Amino acid sequence: IKKRNQSDKVDIKLEFRLGINMGDVIKKDNNLIGDGVNIAARLEALAQPNGISISKSVYDFVVPKTKMTFNDLGIQKVKQNEFRAFDILLDPSQKRTLKTKASPKFKLSRIFLGIIIVGIIGIPSFIFLNKSNKITTKDSIQNEKNIIADMPSILVMPFENQTGKEENNFVGSGFTSSLINILSQSQKLQIHSSSTGKYIKENNVNARDISKLYNIEYILNGSVQGHSKNYRVFIELTNINNNEILWSEIFKFKNIEDIFDIMDNLGISVLRALNLKFSIDSDHLISRNPEVYRKYIMAQAAFQRNNLEDNYKSELLYNEAIKLEPSNSRLKYFLGWVHWQRINLGISTNPQEDFSSAYKYSYEAMNKNTDWASPQAQVSILDSIMGNHSIACGRLPTMRPLARTVEDISLVAVVEVICDNVEEGIILFEKSLRLGPHYSSWVKKYYAIAKTLSGDYDGARAFMERQLDRKHSWEGVEKTFYLMLAYISMKEDDLEKAKKYFALQKKQDGIGETAKQFLNDNSASKNQTFYIDVVKTLKPLGLPDQ
C-alpha cells in the first residue's frame, strides 16, 4: 500500500489500519460476535494509519516465529474491553507511547496513597473513591459489616492450578464450587460465596481485613499440582484469627479425570477437621465429566454478564455440555435461566417459546433434585408470572429449609417478595449479601426494590447511593437504582433530586426505562400496587408508556 501511494499514477491515496486478535467467536445469522471480535475491532481503532496493532494472544504466538519489531502499548481499556496491545513497527517512526491502565498489582501498591480499587464483580475493597472524589475508609462502611455469626464462618479460596497446563484451569473452579456445595449442606456452618474468595484473592486483601470486614473465622486454601499420572491436591484449613493451621492434607490421583472421585473426601475431611459430624450427599456436583464441568464454568461466566452476545455464548456452551450428558437436569436448570434472561433483555425472537423452554427445563430440574431450592424458586417465579401465585407461594415452606447456598437464599428471597412477604424477603437478601457480598449484582437490584417497597426509604437510599459508587457486572442495575431514588425523592417532595435521578437513569443507555418495561420486569409479584404506584409517580418526570 505504501509503495502504491507513492506512485504518481495513483489519484486516491489509501490508508488502512489493522487490528488482529485471537479468541472465541459465536456464529449467528451469518455474522460473528463475541469478545474475540470486539477486541479485534478495538485494536483496529487503536492502530495508527498504515499501522497494525495486535493483542497479547497474537503476540505470544508470533513473537518466537518472526524477526519483526514490536512496541508494547501496555494495558488498554476501550469501552467495556480491557486488553494488552502491541504495535508491529513497520517503520521506526511508528513507535509511540499510549497511556497504560495500571495493573491490579500496581494499583494495590498505591492503596496507601488513596487510589481506588474497583471490585471485579461489583463490590469495592476496603478503600473507595466516591463520585465526589472523597476518600471513604473502612470506618464509614461498618454498617455493611456482617453480623457476628453464631456458627463457624468459612471461606473457600479459589484453588490454584499449578499443573502448568492452562486447560486444567477449570479444575480450580471445580474444587472451589464442589467444596462450597458440600459444606453448605451442613446446618452448622456459614459458607461464603466463591465470588468473595475470588475478590479477596484478586485484590490481595490481608487476613486481618478479611476477618474484620467479613467476620470469617476459617479459610480453606488449596492447589492442584503435578503432571500426567502424578497429580496431587494440597489443602489447608487455617484459623485466621490466630493464624493457626488446623489441618492440612495431600490427596493423590493419577488422571485429571479422577479429581471428582476425591471431592467428597475433601469435604468430609474439612468437616471432620472442624469437629462436625455430618453425612454427605454425594449427588451435589453439576457433573463428574471434566469437559462438561469446564463448559459449565464458562457458560456461567458468560451468563453473569447479562448481555445479548454472552447470552448466546452461554446457551451454546450449555447445549454443548448437555449434548455430552443429555440426562443432566442440573445443566438444564441453568439453560432455563438463559432462555428467561433472553426475554428480560428484550432479545427474544419468540418470547412464548423461550418462556416454555425456561419452564420445561426448570420443572425437570425441580422434579429430579427435590433437595435443591433453586429450581423450586425458579419454577415458582415462572408460575407467578402466569398468575399461579397459590401454587408458587405454596412451595415456600419446602424451599426455605433447603436454601443453603448464596444462590438458593437469593432466589428464595425473590419468591418471598413476589408472594408479598416483603420483610421475610429482605431478611434473606441481607443474609445473602453477608455471605456473598461480591455475588451477582442482580441480588442488589432486587434488594433495593424490596427495601423501597417496604417503605424504608432511608435504608434503601443509603444502600443504593453506596452501590452507585461501585462497578456492577449485571447490566441495568444502575438504572434500577436511579429509578428507585427518583421515586423516593418524589415521595419526599424533592422534585429537583427526582429530576436529577431520573435523568441519570435515562443516561445509562440513552433511552431510559418505560412503564411497560418496568411493569413487565416485575409482573410476577402477587401485589402490583407498589409497581403501579412507581409508574404513576414517575409519569410527571417523563416516564414513557412504552
pLDDT averaged per 10 residues, the chain (length 546): 79 84 80 81 84 88 82 76 83 70 38 25 27 30 35 83 77 77 70 86 85 85 80 84 80 73 70 56 64 83 83 93 93 94 87 93 93 94 94 95 91 97 96 86 94 95 90 80 96 96 91 90 93 96 93
Are the C-beta atoms of residues 178 and 284 closer than 8 Å to each other?
Answer: yes
pLDDT of residue 479: 92
Given this model, what pLDDT does residue 138 score? Answer: 33
Q: Are 472 and 122 in contact (CB under 8 A)?
A: yes
Q: What is the largest CA-CA distance in the chain?
A: 87
> Rounded to an integer, what is the distance from CA 422 to the centroid of its chain?
25
d(CA 294, CA 207): 30
H-run or E-run covering 257:
none
**Cβ partners under 8 Å of residue 448, min gap 6:** 460, 463, 464, 467, 480, 481, 484
Give the other-Cβ count within 10 Å of 396's Cβ: 18
Q: What are the Cα distances from residue 286, in Å, to 208, 317, 318, 332, 495?
A: 34, 14, 12, 10, 51
| DSSP output for 296-316 | HHHHHHHHTT-SHHHHHHHHH
Q: How far apart are the first and last CA of the chain?
A: 51
User: How confident is the model at residue 303, as a pLDDT?
Assistant: 87
- Record the cell numbers describing residue 376, joined without a space: 423450586
Rounded to two decimals, what is the model's pTM?
A: 0.60
516 near 528, Cβ under 8 Å? Answer: no
